[in-house]
């Protein structure tokens, strides 16, 4: 610095010092903001990778459970539909393993090799054992197939459980470390900002006010993001731990009871338990889809040509354990189209469950698949009290529940129709509703025969 006495760079000292502090403040603010945002990004990436890994683990466990249960049902009854369900579940296992590998990521695969090295052999043992039992069943040697299934010492899924829990714990630990680092960085950044504010208050009050306003705005945005992240983390924690683990035990026990030599009434009760567990699985999947949608993530869909009526029949069979006499299936014309069968099962199941809950208990629920020019129309109609026009516009919003006093209102969390709308839009379909108070409600879903996806990320299968 130089110039005349009492001046720096030709300016009064206090003015020059004010400019210097302002520039230093801007530089420090930029550096610290970059560091803080980088830490937040690391924490967000860690949370996203943990959620994706959790989803991949659940897909793998679901495919293994479905194939195992369907195989036991096929061996017990020889029903070709159960064999088809087994093939479907078995076919999803390689994709689930690949999804898990991709979720862990190539840059982390060496660190997680010990976990994949324990999960993959368990999956192979499961598939090999299923294949041997299926071959015996296909050859008509059902008793040998049942004995082979009964003499398995420890189910392969249980062998993988310890590795799965270790991987989950590792992911949670990474997220916790990333969040702690972000909090430390945020604390340091806030302290530095406060110090700079003090200097700016001494030298340039106007600049200090601008900085304070900027800090408050950033803190509000940060608090909002933290609240959203907290909600998402709580939902993922509930789904992945508080619900999924005990539900797996319930389903396993129900399937085991259904395979034992029990009276017919006891077996029917076990099958009802399994059906209720599958409905709970769909609710868990609804929660995960809601969490992904609220986080801005795309809902993955895998399109292929499938028969919408077959989807309706499967869901009706699944929900007909205690109320089969209330479901009437109708098929008109060619009902084949391009859609994701698994996701469409969620759509049909949510609509049919709502119709069974809110419809007239003494009247049937009608489920139809109707072929049209260029599309296939799904109809789910109940003859209940109908919808109040005042609430019809909000029924597709998350956590919207039926008014008090309606049957079934207490048993809903209000995500079913939100998931219906999200999944139909993800597949290029359209959902609509018609309802007259006192005359029932009809939901329509029009599925284009040729895929017209609104999202480039959706993939055709």
Domain ranges of the chain: 14-237, 302-460
Share of the chain above pLDDT 70, in %: 63
Q: Among 78-82, 237-241, 272-276, 301-305, where is mean pLDDT lowest?
A: 237-241
Q: Quote the pLDDT of residue 456.
A: 39
More confident residue, 337 or 129: 337
Residue 10 region, left (φ>0) first, then alpha (ψ -120 to 50), else beta?
left
Q: Is the pLDDT of residue 431 over 60?
A: yes
Q: Quote the pLDDT of residue 84.
A: 87
Those residues whose C-beta lies under 8 Å from the C-beta of residue 202, and which sit 6 or more positions away, are none
Q: Is the pLDDT of residue 199 over 80?
A: no
C-alpha span between 345 and 367 (Å, rounded): 13
Q: Is the pLDDT of residue 277 over 70?
A: yes
Q: Quote the pLDDT of residue 430.
A: 93
Give 143-157 pLDDT, tens digit per residue: 887 888 777 655 655
Determine contact, residues 376/337, Cβ cutoff 8 Å: yes
C-alpha span between 32 and 13 (Å, rounded): 28
Mean pLDDT of the chain: 75
Q: Is 14-237 a domain of CATH 3.30.360.10?
A: no
Q: Quote the pLDDT of residue 429.
A: 93
Q: Quote the pLDDT of residue 246.
A: 72
Determine contact, residues 368/331, Cβ cutoff 8 Å: yes
Q: Which helix (H) or strand (E) holds 76?
A: helix 13-77
Say which CATH topology domain 302-460 has. Answer: Heat Shock Protein 90 (3.30.565)
C-alpha span between 312 and 318 (Å, rounded): 10
C-alpha span between 108 and 126 (Å, rounded): 26
Q: Is the pLDDT of residue 374 over 70?
A: yes
Does 302-460 match 14-237 at the fold level?
Answer: no
Q: Quote the pLDDT of residue 296.
A: 64
């Amino acid at each position: 610095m130089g110039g005349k006495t009492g001046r720096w760079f030709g300016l009064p000292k206090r003015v020059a010092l004010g400019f210097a502090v302002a520039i230093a403040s801007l530089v420090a603010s930029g550096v610290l903001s970059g560091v803080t945002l980088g830490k937040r990004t690391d924490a967000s990436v860690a949370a996203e990778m943990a959620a994706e890994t959790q989803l991949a683990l659940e897909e793998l466990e679901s495919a293994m459970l479905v194939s195992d249960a369907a195989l036991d049902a096929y061996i017990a009854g020889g029903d070709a539909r159960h064999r088809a369900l087994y093939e479907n579940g078995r076919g999803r296992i390689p994709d689930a393993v690949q999804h898990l590998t991709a979720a862990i990521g190539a840059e982390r695969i060496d660190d997680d090799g010990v976990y994949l090295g324990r999960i993959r052999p368990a999956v192979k043992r499961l598939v090999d054992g299923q294949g041997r039992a299926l071959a015996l069943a296909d050859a008509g040697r059902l008793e040998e197939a049942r004995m082979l299934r009964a003499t398995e010492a420890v189910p392969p899924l249980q062998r993988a459980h310890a590795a799965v829990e270790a991987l989950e714990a590792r992911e949670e630990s990474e997220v916790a470390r990333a969040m702690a680092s972000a909090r430390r960085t945020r604390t340091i950044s806030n302290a530095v900002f406060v110090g700079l504010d003090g200097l700016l208050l001494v030298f340039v009050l106007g600049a200090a006010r601008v900085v304070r306003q900027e800090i408050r705005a950033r803190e509000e945005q940060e608090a909002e993001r933290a609240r959203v992240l907290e909600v998402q983390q709580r939902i993922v924690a509930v789904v992945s731990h508080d619900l999924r683990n005990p539900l797996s035990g319930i389903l396993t026990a129900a399937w085991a009871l259904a395979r034992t030599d029990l009276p017919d009434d006891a077996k029917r009760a076990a099958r009802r338990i399994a059906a209720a567990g599958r409905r709970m699985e769909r609710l868990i999947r609804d929660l995960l889809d809601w969490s992904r949608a609220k986080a801005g993530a795309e809902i993955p869909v895998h399109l292929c040509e499938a028969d919408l009526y077959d989807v309706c029949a499967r869901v009706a069979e699944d929900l007909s354990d205690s109320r089969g006499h209330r479901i009437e299936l109708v098929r008109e014309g060619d009902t084949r189209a391009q859609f994701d069968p698994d996701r469409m099962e969620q759509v049909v199941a949510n609509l049919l469950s709502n119709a069974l809950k809110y419809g007239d208990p003494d009247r049937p629920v009608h489920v139809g698949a109707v072929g049209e020019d260029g599309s296939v129309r799904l109809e789910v109609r109940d003859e209940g009290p109908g919808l109040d026009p005042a609430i019809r516009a909000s029924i597709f919003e998350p956590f919207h529940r039926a008014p008090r006093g309606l049957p079934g209102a207490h048993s809903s969390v209000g995500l079913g129709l939100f998931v219906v709308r999200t999944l139909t839009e993800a597949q290029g379909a359209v959902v609509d509703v018609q309802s007259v108070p006192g005359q029932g409600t009809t939901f329509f879903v029009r599925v284009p025969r040729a895929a017209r996806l609104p999202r480039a990320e959706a993939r055709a299968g």
